[in-house]
Structure 1
Amino acid sequence: MAAAAAALGAEYGGRTSVRVVVIGDQGTGKSSLIVDAATDSFPESPPRVMPPTRLPADYFPDRVPITIIDTSSSPENRGKLIGQCQAADAIVLTYACDRPATLDRLTTYWLPELRRLEVQVPVIVVGCKLDLRGEHQMSLEQVMLPIMQQFREIETCIECSALKQIQVPEVFYYAQKAVLHPTAPLFNQETQSLRPRCVRAFKRIFILCDNDRDGALSDAELNDFQVKCFNAPLQPAEILDVKEVVQEKMPEGVNEDGLTLTGFLFLHALFIEKGRLETTWTVLRKFGYDNDLKLREDQLPISFKRAPDQSVELTNEAVEFLKGLFFSFDVDNDGALQPAELDNLFSTAPECPWSVEGPFKDAAEKNVLGGLTLAGFLSEWSLMTLLDPTSSLANLIYLGYTGDPAAAFHITRKRRQDRKRKQSQRNVYQCYVFGPKNAGKSALLSSFIGRAFVDQYNPTTTEQFAANVVEVPGGIKKTLVLREIPENNIDVLLSKDSLAPCDIAVFVYDSSDENSWKRAKELLVRVATHGENSGFEIPCLIISAKDDLEPYPSAIQDSTRVSQDMGIETPIPLSMKLRDFNYVFRRIVSAAQQPHLSIPETEAGKNRKQYRRLVNHSLMFISVGAAAAVVGVAAYRVYSARKNTST
C-alpha cells in the first residue's frame, strides 16, 4: 500500500489526494451538487452545509481520491470559509443559472475576494440548476469569456443540474484534473505561450531523446519516446500524421532528419491549447519533473548525510565534465562565458542558479566584459556544492551529466580530525569574515574576485559570498570561499553552533580607527571562546585593513600583543584601495591547511588547560604511588614465602 501511494505521488507531482472547496452565494446549489456527486441521487432536503465528503480513488481514471468541503456564505462563518479556501487545492465557485444576480457576484465579490486572500489555486466556475435556465439566456461561452479574460485563475466553466443529474461528476473531474494536471506551470494564458521553465524542461527531454545528437527526433527516436512515456508504440502512419500537423502550422518544426525542437515544443503547446494537459504532464513526470518543473526528490539519489563539520566537494570527474561544458558553450573562444552563453548553458535547467538573488549571484570572478571566467565558473560550482549540494547535483543532471552521482561528489573528513592530524586535505575552504561595520570586509570580498575598489561605504545587512581559486606553494590550486558575516548576525551565528562548517575565520578592522580594533578584538574573543566551549575550534587571522590611512596610536603594539597572547599570527596589514593585498588570500588558505597552528587561546581556555594538566599530573602521581604500594606488597609476600620455606 505504501509503495503504491509513493508511486501515485510521483506520478502526480507528489499528490496522493485532492481537496476541493465549494463556495458561492447561499442557495446556489452547493450542497445538492455535493450530495449528487457522492450518492448519484438528488437530495429532497439537503443540509445547509454538508460534512466533508470523500469521493473514492476509483471514482475517476486518475485514481486519486477527492475530499469535498462544503462552506457557508453567511457572515458568521466567514472566518471558517477563509481558512477552508486557503487550505484548498482547487475551488469550485457556484452560481445559480436562474438567478443572474449570483452570476454578477462572481466578479463583484467572489473572484476579487479570492485574489485579496491570495488563494492561488485553480478555480472551476459552475452554473448550477441548469434545468431552470431560461431558453433566451446567453450561452455559457458568451457569459464566461469576458470573465475568464479578466480572471485568468479560472480553469474551466461548466453548467450542471443536480436534479436532472446533468454533468455533475464532470464538475469534480475538472477540479481534480486542474490540480493533477495544472495549466499555470506550463502555459501563460496572457501571452498564449509556453512558460520559460516549461520550454527548458522540454528542451532537456528533447536532447535526452535525440540519441544521435543531430538536432531532430527521427521516426525511431519518436517511437522510443512514445513507448517510454505511454507504453505503446506509434504506427508509421501516426508518426507521419504528427509530422504533417506540425509542418502545416510550423514548417521549421520538421526537417529531413525528423521533428526539430521547435516542432516538439509546438506539439506540446498544441496539446495544452486543446485541453490535453494530461498528455503533457505524463511526459514531464516520466522524465522526473514535479509540479514546479523541477526534478523530483526520487530523481536525486544522494542524501548527502554528513556531520556538521563535514562538507561536500566535487570530484575530479565532475570538474572535468564541467570544464568540457565551459569550453563547448564558450562559442567566441574568449575564455569566459558571457551572459547569453551562460544562459544557453543552463537552458535545460529551470533557470540559471547564479542569476537569481541569493548567495551565488555575482559571487565569482568575471572579466572586463562581464563574462564568467573558467576559474569563476568552477568557483561558482564549488560554492553551490558547499552550500547546497542537492541543488548542485540537480543542476549537473539538468546539464546532461549521466555518470554515477556518487562519483561526482566527495564528503570531506571531519574538521575536528583535520585539527588532530594537523593537516587538512580539502580542495574547498570556507573562511568566515568577521569585523565591525565599515572595517573593510566587503572590500576584501570584492578585491578577491577582481571588482574595483569603491570608496563609498554601503553597509552589508545580509551574508555575502565570494569564491575564487588560490594557488598555494607547490603550484597546488585550492578554492577559497569568503563568507562575510554582518556584525548584527553574530549572536544568531554563535547560538546555532554555525561555526562547524568554518575552516578559518578572519577578523578585519580599520587600522585608523581605535574603536574598530576594539570591536574586532571583542569578536575574536567571542568566536575563540565559543570554539573552545563547543569543541569546534577554528584557526583565526587578524587583518589590519586600510593600511593606506594613518594608524591610530599604539595600534600596531596592541594588536601584536593580543595576537601573541592568543598564539596566532600577527595582524596582516593590507590596503584594498591600493591593491596591496600582502598575499592575504594565500596566507588564509595556508593557515586553513594547517589549522592547529592558528587556533587562538583565550585566558579562560589557558586556565582550563592548566587545570587539566594539574589534574592529570595528580592522577599520575597517585597512580605511581599506588603502583609502588602494589610492588611493595608483592615484594613483602615473596619475602614472607621464602622465610617460611627456609624455616
Structure 2
Amino acid sequence: MALAAAPANLAGKQSLRVVVIGDPGTGKSSLVVSAATERFPGDVPRVLPPTRLPVDYFADRIPITIVDTSSSPEQRTKLIAECQSADVVVLTYACDQPATLERLSSFWFPELRRLQAPVIVVGCKLDLRGEEQGTLDAVMAPIMVAFREIETCIECSALRQILVYEVFYYAQKAVLYPTAPLFDQEAQMLKLRCMRALKRIFILCDHDRDGALSDVELNDFQVICFNAPLQPNEIIGVKRTIQEKLAEGVNENGLTLTGFLFLHTLIIGNGKLETTWTVLRKFGYDNELKLRDDLIPAIKRAPDQTLELTSKVIDFLRGIFNMFDTDNDGALQPAEINDLFSTAPENPWSSHLYENCAENNVLGGLSFEGFISKWTLMTLIHPSNSFANLIYVGYPGDFDSAFTTTRKRRVDRKKKQTQRNVFQCYVFGPRHAGKTSLLQSFLKRQPSDAPPVNGEQFAANTVELPDGTRKTLVMREISEGDVGPLLSDKESLAPCDVAVIVYDSGDEVSWQRARELLVQVATRGKNTGYEVPCLIVAAKDDLDQSPLALQDSTRVSHDMGIETPIPISVRLRDLNNIFCRIVHAAQQPHLSIPETEAGKTHRQYRQLLNRSLTVVSVGAAVAVVGVAAYRVYAARKNASS
C-alpha cells in the first residue's frame, strides 16, 4: 500500500502512562529495567519506582512513564488505582510457566474488563520458552477471541534484549492509534462511526461529485493527509489490489466509496492503524471520531441572547434538503434523513427531543419548513452541536456566517421592540391541563396522536402573521414537577420570550394551581431581571366551564395587568389564533409582563419616592431663586449708597 503514515498526532495526549501488571515472577521489573537501560539487570527490587523512558526512545518524542506494580493481595487497592490511571496496561505472563498464561483468562482479564484502557499481553522470558508449548499465534488466538480488549500480543526476552523495544512501541501505538474506535474485531469490519467519518472524508475529496476518486483526486488526498504525492504505479497498485478483492471498489471513474472503505479495512487488518488515524485526524476527528473541540468556536453570549440561522445557512440547507429528497415529494422520509446524516457520528435528531418536535405530512415525511424548524431548535438549545452537524453535512462556511447573535432580551424590553425571527415559549400548567395537547395542535396533530412524553418536549413550527411575515416559534413544555428545579436557576427565564400558563377551564383546582405557577414565574422574573410576557390559556373550552375559575382568572389577569385568559378547544380545533397571539406578545416584550403584589408595592414606593424628590427639587429651586434675588437686591442697595 502506498498510503504511508505521517508523524503522530497525540489527539490531546501530552504524555503516556504505561502500567505493567501480572503474576509474581513473570518478569515485570526486569522488563522495565531492560527497556530503560537496554541491558539485563543483575539485581532487581520487587517493585520499581516509576521509570521514565528517554524522551527520544521513540521518534514521536512522547514522554513515557512506566509504572511497575505488585500483585500481592495487600497491594490490590493500589494496583486497581494504578490501572485506573493508566493510558495502557501491559499484562505479563512467563513463557516458561504455563500456569501464568492460564491465569490471564481465569483472573486478570475479568478484572481488567472494568477498565477503559487498552491492554498489551506480553510473554516474558522468551529465551526459556520450550518448543512443545506451540507458537504465539496458536497460544493467544483463543484468548484474543474471548477478550477483545487485547490490542496486541507479543513475546520478549529481557535477558537477550529480544523485542523489548517493540513491547513499549506497541503500548504507545495502542494509545495513539487505538483499534477499538475503528474496528470491530469480532465482526472483522469497520465500526459504523468510523465508516461515517471516512464517508465524509471521501465526499470532501470527491471534488467533481461523480461518486469516485479519480487518480488526481486520490493523489490530492495523499498530499493532504501525508504531504507526499503518489507515483502513477502506486495508484495503479492500490486500485488493482482493491479490484482483485472487491470488484465494485473501482469503476471507470476511479476508487468508489465502497473501495475507499475497503482500503481502510485492509490497512487496519495489516496493523497500520496509524495510517487511518492520520487521515481521520487530518480532517479534524478526535479519538471518539467526532470533530475536535477546538474546531467548534466557544460561544460567548449573555443568558438572554440566542443564536439564529443566517439566510446563507438556510439557503445551504435548502440545497441539502432537495439533494436528499430523492423521490421529489417535497418531504424527507426517515430513511432520507438518516442518509443525510450518514456523514455525522450519528443522526442528531434520533433523541427524544427531536423525534416529534416538528410537523410531518400524512406519510411521515418532514417538509422543508419542518426541516428548518428542527435545525432552528437545535441551534436554539445546542448551537455547538448545530454547527458541528452543519460541518458534517458539508457546510463550507465558518461559524460567523452560519449564525447571528440576537440582541439581549432586556434591551428589547427597553426599546419596546425586537429584531428576532425565532421566539421561545415556555408552557407551564398543572397536570392534565392541556399543555401537551397545545403543543400537538401547533404541529397540526390531534391529542390522540401525541406520543408518550419522556422528559422535555418541544414543538417547533413557523407562524404566519397577519402582515404576511413568518416567524419561527419554539414551544417548550415544562412539566409541573420540573417547575421548581427550573425556577431555582436564576437564569432559567433568560432564554424565554413568552410564558404561557395553561389551565383546565372546567376545573377550579387546575386554575388555582395555574395561578400559583403564574405568580412563581412573575416573581422569579422580577427578582432576576428576566421579566417575561405572560399569557393565560383556558383550555378545554368545549367542556363545562367553572364559573369560579373564569371569574377569578379574569380578575387575576386584570390585577396583574395582562390579557384576559384566552379560551381554546384543541378537540374542536378552535384555537382562537393562539400562536399568532404568542408571537405578538413576544414582539412587544415590554407589554404583558405580569405585576405581582410585591411588584406593586415596590412601584408605589418608587412613585412616592419620585414625588418626594420632586418636592425637594422644587423647594431647592425656590431657595436658589430666593438667594439670587437677595444678591441682586443687595447689589443694587450698595450701588445707590
- The residue number in structure 2 matching 1:465 is 458
Q: Do residues 584 (structure 1) and 585 (structure 2) align?
A: no
CA-based RMSD:
1.8
C-alpha separation between the residues in 2 aligned to 1:626 and 1:383?
Answer: 57
- The residue number in structure 1 matching 2:3 is none
C-alpha separation between the residues in 2 aligned to 1:496 and 1:41?
Answer: 63
Letter matched to residue 478 of structure 1: K
C-alpha separation between the residues in 2 aligned to 1:487 and 1:83?
Answer: 44
- The residue number in structure 1 matching 2:205 is 209
Report the alpha carbon displacement of residue 456 of structure 1 after superposing the two structures with TM: 9.5
- The residue number in structure 1 matching 2:393 is 399
- The residue number in structure 2 matching 1:59 is 57
| TM-score after normalising by structure 1 | 0.95
Q: Check conservation: 2:428, 2:478, Cα contact below 8 A.
A: yes
SS of the equivalent of 1:614 reads helix
Report the alpha carbon displacement of residue 622 of structure 1 after superposing the two structures with TM: 1.2
**Alignment equivalent of 1:314, drawn from 293, 309, 315:** 309
Give 5+ residue unaligned stretches, structure 2. Answer: 1-5
Letter matched to residue 571 of structure 1: P
Q: Do residues 536 (structure 1) and 530 (structure 2) align?
A: yes
Q: Check conservation: 1:461, 1:486, Cα contact below 8 A.
A: no
Once the two structures are superposed, what CA deviation does each residue of 1:495-523 show, in whole Å capped at 9, x if it has no partner? 21211111111111122222211111111
Report the alpha carbon displacement of residue 579 of structure 1 after superposing the two structures with TM: 2.6
Once the two structures are superposed, what CA deviation does each residue of 1:528-570 show, in whole Å capped at 9, x if it has no partner? 0011111100001111112232223412111111111111111
- The residue number in structure 2 matching 1:642 is 636
SS of the equivalent of 2:62 reads coil
Q: Check conservation: 2:140, 2:153, Cα contact below 8 A.
A: yes
Report the alpha carbon displacement of residue 370 of structure 1 after superposing the two structures with TM: 1.5
Letter matched to residue 310 of structure 2: T
C-alpha separation between the residues in 2 aligned to 1:475 and 1:19?
Answer: 64
Report the alpha carbon displacement of residue 8 of structure 1 after superposing the two structures with TM: 9.4
Q: Check conservation: 1:354, 1:362, Cα contact below 8 A.
A: no
Report the alpha carbon displacement of residue 358 of structure 1 after superposing the two structures with TM: 4.4
**Alignment equivalent of 1:519, drawn from 495, 513, 520:** 513
Report the alpha carbon displacement of residue 61 of structure 1 after superposing the two structures with TM: 2.3
Q: Check conservation: 1:529, 1:602, Cα contact below 8 A.
A: yes
Alpha-carbon spacing, 1:8–1:361, altered in 2? closer, same or farther (3 Å) = farther
| TM-score after normalising by structure 2 | 0.96
Q: Check conservation: 2:248, 2:259, Cα contact below 8 A.
A: yes
Q: Check conservation: 2:7, 2:60, Cα contact below 8 A.
A: no
Letter matched to residue 19 of structure 1: R
Alpha-carbon spacing, 1:82–1:555, altered in 2? closer, same or farther (3 Å) = same
Q: Check conservation: 1:435, 1:441, Cα contact below 8 A.
A: yes
C-alpha separation between the residues in 2 aligned to 1:165 and 1:584?
Answer: 81
Letter matched to residue 45 of structure 1: D
Once the two structures are superposed, what CA deviation does each residue of 1:154-208 show, in whole Å capped at 9, x if it has no partner? 1100111222221112111111111111111111112111111111111111111
Q: Check conservation: 2:26, 2:124, Cα contact below 8 A.
A: yes
C-alpha separation between the residues in 2 aligned to 1:38 and 1:440?
Answer: 71
- The residue number in structure 1 matching 2:299 is 304
Give runs of aligned pairs for residues 609-628 of structure 1, distance below 5 A.
Answer: 609-628=603-622
C-alpha separation between the residues in 2 aligned to 1:8 and 1:80?
Answer: 35
- The residue number in structure 2 matching 1:3 is none
C-alpha separation between the residues in 2 aligned to 1:93 and 1:579?
Answer: 68
**Alignment equivalent of 1:174, drawn from 139, 158, 170:** 170
C-alpha separation between the residues in 2 aligned to 1:447 and 1:19?
Answer: 57
What percentage of residue pairs aligned between the two structures are identical? Answer: 69
Q: Check conservation: 2:305, 2:406, Cα contact below 8 A.
A: yes
- The residue number in structure 2 matching 1:546 is 540
Q: Do residues 360 (structure 1) and 358 (structure 2) align?
A: no
SS of the equivalent of 1:598 reads coil
- The residue number in structure 2 matching 1:4 is none
C-alpha separation between the residues in 2 aligned to 1:236 and 1:479?
Answer: 54
C-alpha separation between the residues in 1 aligned to 2:424 and 2:373?
Answer: 12
Q: Do residues 376 (structure 1) and 370 (structure 2) align?
A: yes
C-alpha separation between the residues in 1 aligned to 2:15 and 2:224?
Answer: 26
Report the alpha carbon displacement of residue 69 of structure 1 after superposing the two structures with TM: 2.1
- The residue number in structure 2 matching 1:347 is 342
**Alignment equivalent of 1:264, drawn from 260, 263, 270:** 260
**Alignment equivalent of 2:421, drawn from 420, 423, 427:** 427
Once the two structures are superposed, what CA deviation does each residue of 1:309-366 show, in whole Å capped at 9, x if it has no partner? 00000011111111111112111111110011111111111111101x2422321111
Letter matched to residue 303 of structure 2: P
Report the alpha carbon displacement of residue 44 of structure 1 after superposing the two structures with TM: 2.5
**Alignment equivalent of 2:26, drawn from 25, 28, 31:** 28
C-alpha separation between the residues in 2 aligned to 1:86 and 1:514?
Answer: 58
Q: Check conservation: 1:36, 1:42, Cα contact below 8 A.
A: yes
Q: Check conservation: 1:505, 1:541, Cα contact below 8 A.
A: yes
Number of residues of Structure 1 aligned to a counterpart in Structure 2: 635
Report the alpha carbon displacement of residue 461 of structure 1 after superposing the two structures with TM: 6.0
Give runs of aligned pairs for residues 227-238 of structure 1, distance below 5 A.
Answer: 227-238=223-234
Q: Do residues 243 (structure 1) and 239 (structure 2) align?
A: yes
Letter matched to residue 252 of structure 1: E
SS of the equivalent of 1:554 reads helix
- The residue number in structure 2 matching 1:483 is 476
Q: Check conservation: 1:547, 1:575, Cα contact below 8 A.
A: yes
Report the alpha carbon displacement of residue 46 of structure 1 after superposing the two structures with TM: 2.1
Q: Check conservation: 2:21, 2:68, Cα contact below 8 A.
A: yes
> Greater CA deviation, 58-67 or 92-101?
58-67
**Alignment equivalent of 1:572, drawn from 563, 566, 582:** 566
Give runs of aligned pairs for residues 64-463 of structure 1, distance below 5 A.
Answer: 64-115=62-113, 118-300=114-296, 302-355=297-350, 357-454=351-448, 460=453, 462-463=455-456
